[in-house]
Amino acid sequence: MTAQAMNASDAVGAASAASAIERRSRVPLYQFALLAVLLGLWEVLTRVPYLIKNTFLDPFFISRPSLIAQQLWSWTFGARAGFLLPHLMSTLAATLLGLIVATVTGFLVGLLLSQSPTMAKTLNPFIVGLNSLPRIAMVPLITMVFGLGLLAKVVTAWFVVFFLIFFNTFKGSISIEKHLLQFCQTLGATPRQLMWSVRVPSALAWTFAALPNAISFSLVAVVIAEFVGTTKGMGYLIVTALSTLNATEMFAAITVLGLSGLILVAIAERIERRLLRWSPQFNER
Amino acid sequence: MIVLDSIHKTYRSGATSHTAIGNVSLTVNAGEFVSIVGPSGCGKSTLLNMIAGFVAPSAGSVRVMDVAVQPGQVPKRLGYLFQKDAVLPWLTVEQNVGLGMRFAHQPAAKIREKVSALLGLANLRGYEKYFPYQLSGGMRQRTALLMTLACDPAVLLLDEPFGALDSHTKINLHRELHDIWRQLRQTIVMVTHDLDEAVALSDRVIVLSGPPSRILLDRRIDIAHPRDPYVVRETEQFGLHLRALWAVLGKEYQRIPDSAGQTLEPAA
Summarised one tens digit per residue, pLDDT across range A17-53 is: 556 666 668 899 999 999 999 999 999 999 999 999 9
pLDDT at A17: 58
Q: Where are the domains of chain B?
A: 2-77+154-164+177-264, 81-152
Nearest residue to B225 (alpha-carbon basis) of B265, B251, B188: B188
Position B194, amino acid: D
- Tell me the per-residue pLDDT of B241-263, one tens digit each, with 9 for 90 and over: 999 999 999 998 888 776 444 44
CB contacts, 8 Å: B134 with chain A: 283
Q: Which of B150, B154, B128, B151 is nearest to B139 (CA)?
A: B128
Q: Which residues pair with B156 in a beta bridge?
A: B79, B188
Q: Which domain holds residue A257?
A: 84-282
At residue A116 the predicted structure's pLDDT band, cuts being 50, 70 and 90, is confident
Residue B107 DSSP label: -
**In B, which residues are within 8 Å of A189 by CB distance?**
103
pLDDT digits (tens, 9 = 90+) for B89-148: 999 999 999 999 999 999 999 999 999 999 988 889 999 999 999 999 889 999 999 999
Query: What's the CA gap between A106 and A127, in Å, rounded?
Result: 12
The pLDDT, as a whole number, for residue A4 is 43
pLDDT of residue A19: 64
Return residues 177-196 of A near B (CB < 8 Å). 177, 179-180, 182-190, 193
Give the pLDDT band of residue A190 (cuts 50, 70, 90).
Answer: very high
Q: What is the pTM of this model?
A: 0.81
CA A38/CA B11 separation, integer angstroms: 68
Q: Which of A188, A277, A278 sits opposite B103 (nearest CB)?
A: A188
Class of domain B2-77+154-164+177-264: alpha beta
Does the residue A236 lie in any domain?
Answer: yes
What's the pLDDT at B268? 39
Residue B65 backbone class (left: φ over 0; alpha: ψ -120 to 50; beta: rest): left
Question: Are A125 and A195 within one domain?
Answer: yes
| DSSP of A160-215 | HHHHHHHHHHHHHHHTS-HHHHHHHHHTT--HHHHIIIIIHHHHHHHHHHTHHHHH
Q: Are residues A28 and A95 in the same domain?
A: no
In a domain, A203, yes or no: yes
CATH of the domain at A100: 1.10.3720.10
Is the CB of residue A277 less than 8 Å away from at least one CB of chain B?
A: yes
| Same domain, yes or no: A241 and A137 | yes
Which chain A residues have a beta carbon less than 8 Å from that of B88? 180, 184, 197-198, 201
Asked whether residue A189 is domain-assigned, the answer is yes
Model confidence at A1, pLDDT cuts 50, 70, 90, reads: very low
> Would the pLDDT of A285 be above 60?
no
What is residue B239's predicted lDDT score, i.e. its pLDDT? 94
Q: Residue B140's closest chain A neighbor by CA?
A: A1
* Cβ count near B238 (within 10 Å): 18
Judge contact between B4 and B24, C-beta under 8 A: yes
Which pLDDT does position A34 carry in this prediction?
Answer: 96
Q: Is the predicted ipTM greater than 0.85, yes or no?
A: yes
Chain A CB contacts of B126 under 8 Å are 3
Average pLDDT over residues A231-251: 93
Closest-approach residue (CA) in chain A for B123? A2
pLDDT bin (cut points 50, 70, 90) of residue B266 is very low
CA A100 to chain centre: 12
Chain A residue numbers with beta carbons less than 8 Å from the beta carbon of B151 are: 186-188
User: Considering only CA atoms, which of B155, B200, B185, B157 is closest in space to residue B47?
Assistant: B157
Q: Could you give the CA distance from residue A4 to residue A12 in angstroms, rounded to a whole number?
A: 13
Using one digit for the tens of pLDDT, what is the confidence trace for B172-230? 999 999 998 998 899 999 999 899 999 999 999 999 998 889 999 999 999 998 899 88
Q: How many domains does chain A have?
A: 2
Flag whether residue B268 sits within 8 Å of chain A, measured between CB atoms. Answer: no
- Same-domain pairing of A46 and A90: no
Q: Tell me whether residues A198 and B139 touch, CB distance under 8 A.
A: no
Q: Give the pLDDT band of residue A9 (cuts 50, 70, 90).
A: very low
Whether the per-residue pLDDT at A8 is higher than 60: the answer is no
In a shared domain, residues A134 and A275: yes
Report the C-alpha gap between A240 and A245 in whole angstroms. Answer: 8
Domain boundary, last residue among A25, A44, A68: A68
